[in-house]
């Protein structure tokens, strides 16, 4: 019998025990004592803090305590950077642990609607990571492990985590800094506290803003579009390029309806609302704009063809070369 499965089982068991112990005793964590302990390391305190933050992320300990402590210890600017490094390293570690221990097992057993959901997350890639970091739909610690079970690229995951957690990290780091200023007293404490409240208000409004900016459509690869067009209920392909592009070098998908983006609002009556729509353009920029317009007018089953006709023609050339 191979040793690898047993190694993974052993690592999983050890991880679950460590998480169980950490969660059991997390209510006993004293933020003041934690700050004093880390501050005692002197010049190496930032490195110790980053390591502790990363470990806390892996063990499902509350990141809020760490973020507030980072602000109190290192100030709003350096504290934000140090908090982001610790949170990103912890998120990446949990991501890699989940990928090593369970990604293969999960991919073999996924099916039905759940498989479609995971495929959609993977197609979105860093965009999905960016969205859930700005709009925390799931707990931070659980999300790190869940995304490790997908095929999202590691570099894209880590970069999106670092960049798109920054607004929230800065706000809560500043709250930690404001708490330290309040303890010290003085007029500066009042000003710092008001800034902290303003930042928290901005972060609370951010999810609503992001949801409004998010494209209300699903993504389709050109391979998926080809399969759906060959099926029993094919989508209506809506090409939103100009007439010249539609008949130009890249051509168009057979049977596509040409509704240029600048004419789309006046020609909505030509589109059925009871069939899925697949939007295509040169890449996918105009398709995203078209998707927002269609959604605002009551269309719901909308799909955007990723990389548009550029990818469609590239896939055709690839199939031709193989033949």
d(Cα 167, Cα 203) in Å, to the nearest integer?
Answer: 7
48 and 37 Cβ atoms separated by less than 8 Å: no
What are the CA-CA distances from residue 51 to residues 42, 58, 82, 160, 276 (Å)?
A: 15, 11, 10, 20, 49
Which contiguous run of DSSP H or E holds residue 97?
Answer: helix 76-98
CA angle 287/127/52 to nearest 5° reads 170
Q: How many CA atoms lie within 13 A of 41 on its CB side?
A: 14
Q: How far is CA 53 from the centre of its chain?
A: 20
Using DSSP, state whether 290 is helix, strand or coil. helix
Give the tokens for residue 312.
């469609």
b/e string for 131-145 if b means 16 or more Cβ within 10 A?
A: bbbbeeeeebbebbb
Q: Which of 139, 295, 134 is nearest to 210 (CA)?
A: 134
Q: Catalytic: 281?
A: yes
Give the tokens for residue 123.
């197609």
Q: How many CA atoms lie within 13 A of 270 on its CB side?
A: 14
CA angle 101/103/104 to nearest 5° reads 100
Sequence-distant (6+) residues with CB within 8 A of 162 are 84, 85, 88
Catalytic residue among 68, 101, 149, 281: 281
**Residues forming the active site:** 281
């Amino acid at each position: 019998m191979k040793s690898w499965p047993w190694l993974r089982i052993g690592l999983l068991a050890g991880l679950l025990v460590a998480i169980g112990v950490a969660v059991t005793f997390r209510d006993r964590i004293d933020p003041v004592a934690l700050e004093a302990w880390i501050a005692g390391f002197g010049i190496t305190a930032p490195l110790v803090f980053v390591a502790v933050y990363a470990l806390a992320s892996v063990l499902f300990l509350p990141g809020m305590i760490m973020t507030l402590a980072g602000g109190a210890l290192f100030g709003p600017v350096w504290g934000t950077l140090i908090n982001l490094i610790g949170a990103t390293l912890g998120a990446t570690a949990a991501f890699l642990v989940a990928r090593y221990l369970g990604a293969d097992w999960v991919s073999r057993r996924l099916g039905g609607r759940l498989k479609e959901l995971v495929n959609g997350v993977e197609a979105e890639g860093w965009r999905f990571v960016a969205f859930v970091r700005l709009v925390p739909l799931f707990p931070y610690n659980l999300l790190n492990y869940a995304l490790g079970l997908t095929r999202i690229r590691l570099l894209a995951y880590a970069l999106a985590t670092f960049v798109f957690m920054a607004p929230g990290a800065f706000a809560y780091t500043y709250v930690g800094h404001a708490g330290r200023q309040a303890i010290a007293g003085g007029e500066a404490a009042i000003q710092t506290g008001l800034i902290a409240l303003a930042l928290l208000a901005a972060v609370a409004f951010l999810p609503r803003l992001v949801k409004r900016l998010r494209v209300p459509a699903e993504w389709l690869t050109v391979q998926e579009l080809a399969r759906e067009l060959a099926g029993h209920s094919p989508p209506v392909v809506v090409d939103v390029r100009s007439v010249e592009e539609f008949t130009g070098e890249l051509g168009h998908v057979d049977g596509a309806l040409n509704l240029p983006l600048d004419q789309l609002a006046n020609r909505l009556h030509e589109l059925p609302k009871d069939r899925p729509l697949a939007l295509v353009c040169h890449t996918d920029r105009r398709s995203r704009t078209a998707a927002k317009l269609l959604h605002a007018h009551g269309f719901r089953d909308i799909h955007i063809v990723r990389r548009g006709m550029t990818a469609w023609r590239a896939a055709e050339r690839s199939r031709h070369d193989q033949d």
